[in-house]
Structure 1
Amino acid sequence: MMLNQALEYSTAYLLLGGNLGNREANLKKAIELLNDKIGEVIVASSLYETAAWGKTDQPAFLNQAVAVQTSLSALEVLDLALIIELELGRVRKDKWGERLIDIDLVLFGDQIIDIPDKLQVPHPHMQHRKFVMEPLAEIAPEVLHPVLGETILSICRNINDPLEVKRL
């Protein structure tokens, strides 16, 4: 006899970005693949354009935050996000170089995960980067950062990052 067990779901918050090709179409396709492979995309932010960060001699990035309801673990989400990047043509060369698509897992429910050289959640630098925090604050303003204990909106309002982030 089988018992009906309810699946346990978590909300994964991901930041999508890219600065090559048709940036908007690449983000849209990434969202379709997230829906197919990881779980239901329950909300997506507006599109945000920013100058390149880290390595600045390249085209501007288009970024978007999404929340995905998933029954997968954070590691499974990461592995599938990397597969989606490959499917969309991502080639990893320079750490902060040009890319068709980048998918970063920035929050996973209220979990704190530290697997050296593999996965850190919350993303260890998210609170310092406006291009992460502004789209995330749009879709999850009241979510608490599990390490800092502050809401995403509060962190976003107090961020000290000179990079201009333009909501489209």
Structure 2
Amino acid sequence: MYLDICPFSFLSAELNALHEELRPYGFVILGFPSHQFGLQEPGDKNEILPTLKYVRPGGGFVPNFQLFQKGYINGQHEQKVYTFLKNSCPPVGDSFGNPTNRLFWEPLRVNDVKWNFEKFLVGPDGKPVKRWYPRVNVSAVRKDILEYLRSQASQRRQRPQLPVLEPWIK
């Protein structure tokens, strides 16, 4: 099972903590950088990690999960994984707000990823389970993932020791 975040500008320690906490249960976070949202990822593949570490978010931040090569999330040249994910989950909204000088792809489609940090949860069978609006708090995503893990365990009649459903970042 994995959580896909795209693109990953403004990553935070919360995603690293989520990945670390849930990794023992088969959970993996995958990050896909893109320059299509406010032109926020201008670097080439050799510049992305140093930018995260020293500039945005900075402070020595290093993601503890897999980052993929920068690519297209939406539009004519979007990566096939995003075509699949977006067609498998309902859109998180029907509006892009004011896309002028913010969104850099054509054509705009209602099921497109709207902005940085839109997330998809994909089950261990490769089927998308849930999609979250970009501004959804990581703690809400964590709660949904734990509920999904519990539902999967109960279907298999197993009771794994999962973390409790309480805030873990204060």
Q: Point out the structure with the larger strand share.
A: 1
